[in-house]
Structure formats: C-alpha cells, structure tokens
Amino acid sequence: MTADLQDFLEDIQRVETFEGFQSATEDLRDLLAISHVVYHWVNSVGERFGAGTYSSEWVDRYLEKDYLRMDPVIFGCFQRFTPVNWKQLDWSSKAAKTFFRDALDYGVGNQGYTIPIRGPNGQFALFTLNHTATDEEWDRLISRIQRDLVVVAHEFNKKALAFEAVDENQTTPTLSPRELSAITHIAKGLSRAQAAAELGISEHTLRVYIESARHKLGALNTTHAVARALSMGVIIV
Amino acid sequence: MTADLQDFLEDIQRVETFEGFQSATEDLRDLLAISHVVYHWVNSVGERFGAGTYSSEWVDRYLEKDYLRMDPVIFGCFQRFTPVNWKQLDWSSKAAKTFFRDALDYGVGNQGYTIPIRGPNGQFALFTLNHTATDEEWDRLISRIQRDLVVVAHEFNKKALAFEAVDENQTTPTLSPRELSAITHIAKGLSRAQAAAELGISEHTLRVYIESARHKLGALNTTHAVARALSMGVIIV
DNA sequence: ATTAGGCTCGCTATTTATGGGGAGGCCATA
DNA sequence: TATGGCCTCCCCATAAATAGCGAGCCTAAT
C-alpha cells in the first residue's frame, strides 16, 4: 500500500463526526488528484446516507429526476460482488445515455470506479471514484490502487455504520424456525395451502406463523413481510 | 502488505479449479503458520460451497449436529459488517459452550478471526482464520495482518463466485417503468388500490402491470414476483 | 409504415388472503 | 414455579387477489 493511502486510512479511523467524514472524501479526492470521491448508501426504507464531492446541484438533480431507478452504476453493482469500472457497464438504453450526458453537464467525470459494499440487514452501499480521463489513464490509476481501495471503501462503510449506530437499535426481528420456514415457502411462490402441505401442518397453523412473522417484521401484509424479510436478510429465497 | 501475502494474492488469482481453491486455503495456513483457514458460504437455495483445512470429521459433525443454527460465529457475523475476533462473541448460552468444547475436541483452535462477506442475491460467506494460541499472541498476529486479510477474503470470494458463474446466465427480465413502479409500491406493502391511487391510475390498470411483471419474472403470484424482483436486483425497496 | 410493446380502461367470476376471536400442550429460562 | 415463547388446531366474516375476456391510444424501433 502506498504510504499516503496508509496515512489516509489512519486518519479516517479517527473521524468522529459527519463533517469529518465528508472532508475525508475531499481529502481522498485531493490525495488521488481526481475529480470526485463519493460514498453513499440507500437502505431498505429509502432513507439515504451519503457524503462526497459531487456538487449539491447534481445530487439534487439526481434525486429529483429519480435517477436512482435508471443509473447503470446502481443496477450493475447491485448484481455483482466485485468492483466495477463504469466502462464495463451497460449504457445502451436511452435512459442511461440521457443520464450519462446529464451527469457530464453537472461536472461528473467520464470515468468511474465503484465498489459495492454490503452489510447486515440488507445494507447496500457504494463507494465511487470519479474522474475525467482517457481509458488508458484511468485503467492505469485503478489497477495501481485497486486493492487498497477495497480496504478504504470498507473503512468508509465502517464509519458510516458507526454514525447510524442508532439504527442498529432496530435489531432485526428474530423469527422462530417455523415462522422462517413458513415465510420462506410463501416467498418461493407457494400458496398458503401448498406451504402448509409442505410443512405438514394445517393451513390455519401456517397462517398463524405468517401473521406472527408479519407482526415481527412490522409489515403491512404478507407480500410486504416477504419483501422486508428479504431485504433485511432474514430469509434468502 | 507483507511480500509473502502479496505473492499469495497473485497466486490465488490464477486458481482455476476447486482443487486449486482448496490448496490455496492450505497454502495460506502454512504461510501464516496457523491451525486452520476456512472459506465457506451458504447460497440462496441452501447449497453449500466451501473449502478449508478443518478435518472432514469436524465438518461432518458440524452438519450432522446442525451447529449452523447455534454457532455464535455465524450469528455474530450475520449481524455485523466488520470482521470479528471470536473472543468478542457471546459464548454464554449453554448451546454455544457445548459447541465450543466439541470444536476443541475435533482439533479446532481456541482462537478465531472471521470476516463476513456479502454478495448479490443475499450471498453470505465467511472467511475464517483459526489457531491455538493465547489472547496476546493472537491479537498480535491479527492486528498485523488485519487489513490484508480483508483483501485476501475478497479474493477468495471472487474466486468462489467465479466457480458458481453458471448462475449469472440467468438474465434478468426487463420491466417497463410502470411495471417497476407498480411492483415497487406493492413491495412496499401498499394494496393494489393504494398503489393505483399513488400512481394515479385505475386499480385495474395497476393489476395489468403486476400481472405482466409477474409473467416476465416467471413468478407464481404477486408475492413471488416481489421476492424474485428483489433477489434478482430488479427493484430495490 | 407497419409492428411490437407500452399504457390505459372496463367487465365477471372464482379463489385466496386477511383480521379478529379462542384454546391446549410443550419447553426453557428466569 | 411461573412466565414467556413456540407449536398446533378450530371458527367466522370480510377484503383482496387471480384469471380470463375485450378494446383503444401512443411511442419507438425495424
């Protein structure tokens, strides 16, 4: 690891406030001499946490236009495990092209490298480096610091989680074994009757499990319960 | 990063077979001069993938006794983001104590350090170092190689995912904007009527979107469609 | 320019889910 | 031993989802 990134890692571990977190993104940007460094996450209920060097105009624009739903970076990272170079993504759709052009207009660089990070309870965060450069220049930079970035990204996420520690009070509900089986079968598309047959219990009993799981998950209906259980990582279908 | 770990990283990237993956765990164990190195995951359908240096007797015992359900390492890691030193975990329950004693009898060391790794579709993997040592010796080793381990763990996971790459052929269906909005609202727990009101369309129209999305997703019912959309990463709730 | 796909609405009928209520036994932990 | 959580079953009434039919308009791509 380069000495300056090593120092940066020490620094970020001492960060105590959101302002410190924000200026850490700026420090890293300056250290790497690139256009932008951004960390953000979207949690299950659509609440956001983020810091970075994008202009507030671009952030507002992004939210206003609901770009979250068409941003290839989000989609690409959501389906992968490995960091992704923006050039590798699918920018072929019209919406993606419009989005990219708009981003450039708002001062976002043409090159990007994003590391997806996943945490407990379905947390999903993105750590992005962005710059204006040729493919060659960018690839050279990335391949040089690739590995260090994984560690840096994780340090950012660790800090972010520490700030949201209040959230950890929302402990993931503990479902009983039967509740888990029941909701898993429902999530797989079985009807109540089928799921009950599968578990060898009466449909009424199954209903009790689903209802109870639903209450524990704070869900409005069965479909919502399945959605919450999935995005909280309580069940895996 | 120490030079030998650096070399090890180069090596693991050249691994092509499961046997190579397995011997990589052995190489790392020898390199660090510790008792065990283990990588394993449980995927979406409950299939397992794993490699490591635990004795097959212990692995069989673990599965037979269903220790997965009472292992504090699993529980602890599932709810955290950061790597965990086994000493920090809650071993107070009777089941946990029995489990720990049993593990020692099967040649598992008393010290452990486990890194949780999460991937797309709820993938959850664990990368573990294990050894017999005093707390001081162990803490010294861990704090020395802590950061490198994050990178190593991610390289292991990358390889493991590459072996399972067949799965990535499942092309994700493309939902239209309205279908996406509709199913997202349903996933948030709204009833059809509420979701329709939210989108400003008739309930019937909304129904058509849900049905159409359901067919594209190959789902048996609405709940199943939401589950599939979520785990395919088509929608984010 | 034709086609394919998306968006919008309506109707009817059947099946399924939901939201309450109550009740007994079993096991572990406090 | 008492409490709380889990597992199992039953009843009833209403609300909601499913499955099939048909039809029109608009936009984008071949």
| Proportion of chain A above pLDDT 90, given as a percent | 37
B77 and B63 inside one domain: yes
Q: Report whether pLDDT(B46) > 60.
A: no
Q: Are A211 and A120 in the same domain?
A: no
Domain assignment present for residue A160? The answer is yes
Q: Does the C-beta of A209 come within 7 A of strand D? A: yes
**Radius of gyration, CA atoms only, chain B:** 22
B139 within some domain: yes
pLDDT in tens, B171-183: 678 788 888 888 9
Which of B150, B227, B236 minimises the CB distance to A226? B227
Which helix or strand (DSSP H or E) is residue A41 part of? Answer: strand A36-42
Residues B9 and B108 in one domain: yes
Please report residues of B whose CB lies closer than 8 A to that of A189.
219-221, 223-224, 227
Per-residue pLDDT at B169: 45
Contact: A230, B228; criterion CB under 8 Å: no
* For A3, nearest residue in chain B (alpha carbons): B1
Residue A45 clears pLDDT 50, i.e. is over it: no
**Angstrom distance, B191 CA to D17 C1':** 10
Same domain, A99 and A216: no
Residue B184 sits in a domain of what CATH number? 1.10.10.10
If asked whether residues A226 and A159 sit together in one domain, one would say no
Average pLDDT on B68-72 reads 74
Phi, psi of B113 (to 5 degrees): -140, 120
pLDDT of amino acid A47: 57
Compare A1 and A213 and report the one with higher pLDDT: A213
In a shared domain, residues B92 and B207: no
Identify the pLDDT of residue B127: 95
Report the CATH number at residue A86.
3.30.450.80
* B114: CB partners within 8 A, 6+ apart: B73, B76, B77, B83, B84, B86, B126, B127, B128, B129
Domain that holds residue A196: 177-231
DSSP string spanning A129-189? Answer: EEE---HHHHHHHHHHHHHHHHHHHHHHHHHHHHHGGGGGGSPPP---HHHHHHHHHHHTT
Any B CB within 8 A of A153 CB: no
Report how many Cβ contacts below 8 Å link chain A to chain B.
115
The answer to the question of residue B237 being in a domain is no
Q: For A94-127, how does the pLDDT look when each residue is reduced to its tens digit (9 = 90+)?
A: 778 888 888 999 999 999 999 998 877 667 889 9
| Band of residue B224 on the pLDDT scale cut at 50, 70, 90 | very high
Question: Does the pLDDT at position B168 exceed 50?
Answer: no
- How many structural domains does chain B have? 2
Q: Examine the domain organization and report whether A8 and A112 are in the same domain.
A: yes
CA nearest neighbour of B152 among B120, B109, B113: B113
**3-class DSSP string for B111-159:** EEEEEEEECHHHCEEEEEEEECCCHHHHHHHHHHHHHHHHHHHHHHHHH
For residue A85, the model assigns a pLDDT of 94
Across B145-160, average pLDDT: 90
Give contacts of B224 with chain A, Cβ < 8 Å. Answer: 187-189
Q: Are residues A76 and A190 in the same domain?
A: no
Same domain (yes/no): B42, B140: yes
A236 assigned to some structural domain: no
> Does residue A7 sit in the same domain as residue A105?
yes
> Are B158 and A9 an interchain contact pair (Cβ–Cβ within 8 Å)?
no
**Confidence band, pLDDT 50/70/90 cuts, at residue A142:** very high
Q: Are residues A114 and A211 in the same domain?
A: no
CA of B199 to C1' of C12 (A): 25
In a domain, A184, yes or no: yes
Q: Are residues A205 and A93 in the same domain?
A: no
Q: For residue A237, tell me if it sits in a domain.
A: no
